[in-house]
Amino acid sequence: MKTTVKMTNRAIRTPGGLSVRLDVRAFVVVALLLLAALAASVVLIGTGDFPISTGDVLKTLLGNGNAGQEFIVNDLRLPRVLVGLLVGASLGLGGALFQAISRNPLGSPDVLGLGQGATAGALVVIVLMSGSAAQVTVGALVGGLVTGMAIYLLAWKRGVHGYRLVLVGIGVSAIVTAINGYLLTKSDLVDAARALVWMTGSLNGRDWDQVWPLLGLCAVLVPLVLANARGLRMMEMGDDVSNALGVRVERVRLLLMVAAVLLTATATAAAGPVSFVALTAPQLARRLTRSPGPNLLPSLCMGAALLVTADWASQRAFGADQLPVGVLTGVLGGVYLLWLLVTERKAGRI
């Protein structure tokens, strides 16, 4: 005799009389993804040239480790893992926003050219100014923001619509990629090597200087985005229906696009252009929750879990700091993109 467990939506009524709908399956998926991200983080902290057991990692994080373990865990490895979690969460959330706004599974920062724009900003600082690491970070952030603004303005025609946004983004991406290639040809050998290392996307050498800006930005933008999730979900029914339901469509769309660009550009500035996390995380989260709508929180958690797991896998397979995590996510994401294109073509959507 088989027993079938079915997860359904439940309504929770607060003491003030407000009714809140709870998607049980999505809640369980978010909880499991958070546990997976935390577990992968603990294992990742213990991985390296000086391995530390999971028990000792937990003891050290609680302040009960010896001096050597505290230095390795708190000063060397914990900031790297936190950057990985924050970058993955930012890319996952940013990708979910772009895909929901464009109503297109290909509407991710990787396809739209935001990563290439941030790369262009970083290359300008490296090649033309020989700037420091902090200046490269600022250059990448500015490049991502300028590219996002250009895409929005070029795609505007009585509003911004999905396929026009994707097509404009692909065109801008091609232009910026050509500019990046030109900048590399104008650089000397040292700057070119430094630029190529940054362009692979890596968590190597990340410290607390990258953690605090990311944490501060996420603390502001994540609640802002989640507060507008209801309007974003209504916008998936079309602008006319959303306007009839009282949603200020262009205002919400612009606000969320700015938030998505900021999340993506800041994540790229902190870790380089880590490929395809923004594309795959929302898709995988949606397949796990089986829920309609943007799935913002599941995408955020999926991005965090995906990036730290990929970083751990690259270290286990190739040794500490031998393979940048951006290479692994690029290979896996490229395979996923090909699968997605084939699936969409078979379904007649492209």
Question: Is it the case that residue 220 has pLDDT exceeding 90?
Answer: yes
Q: What is the pLDDT of residues 287-313, one digit of tens each?
A: 898 887 788 999 999 999 999 999 898
Question: Is it the case that residue 182 has pLDDT exceeding 60?
Answer: yes
Q: What is the pLDDT of residues 266-287, one digit of tens each?
A: 898 888 888 888 888 998 898 8
Question: Is it the case that residue 212 has pLDDT exceeding 60?
Answer: yes
277 CB-contact burial (10 Å; exposed 0-12 / middle 13-18 / buried 19+): buried
333: how many CB neighbours lie within 10 A of its CB? 24
Q: Which residues of 56-70 are buried (b: 16+ CB within 10 A; e: fewer)?
A: bbebbbeeebeeebe
Average pLDDT of span 146-170: 79
Contact 40, 308 (CB under 8 A): yes
Q: What is the pLDDT of residues 2-24, one digit of tens each?
A: 444 344 555 555 555 444 566 78
CA distance 102 to 161: 6
251: how many CB neighbours lie within 10 A of its CB? 11
Q: Name the token pair of 262.
A: 């900021």
Average pLDDT of span 101-129: 84
- For CA atoms 214, 122, 307, 255, give the dihedral sign: positive
Average pLDDT of span 153-178: 80
Q: What is the pLDDT of residues 64-94, one digit of tens each?
A: 878 888 888 888 889 999 999 999 999 999 9
Residue 342, pLDDT score: 79
Question: Is it the case that residue 337 has pLDDT exceeding 80?
Answer: no
Q: Name the token pair of 227.
A: 């507060």
| 255 contact partners, CB below 8 Å, separation of at least 6 | 224, 228
Average pLDDT of span 214-242: 83
The continuous run of DSSP H or E covering 23 comes out as: strand 19-23
Share of the chain above pLDDT 70, in %: 87
- For CA atoms 229, 232, 234, 240, give the dihedral sign: positive
Residue 241, pLDDT score: 64
Alpha carbon distances (Å) from 316 to 41, 47, 98, 141, 216:
14, 8, 33, 31, 31
Contact 256, 262 (CB under 8 A): no
Contact 166, 104 (CB under 8 A): yes
Residue 320, pLDDT score: 67
Question: Is it the case that residue 138 has pLDDT exceeding 90?
Answer: no
Question: Is it the case that residue 107 has pLDDT exceeding 80?
Answer: no
Residue 300, pLDDT score: 94
Average pLDDT, the chain: 82
- Least confident piece of the model among 93-107, 178-192, 198-212, 311-325: 311-325
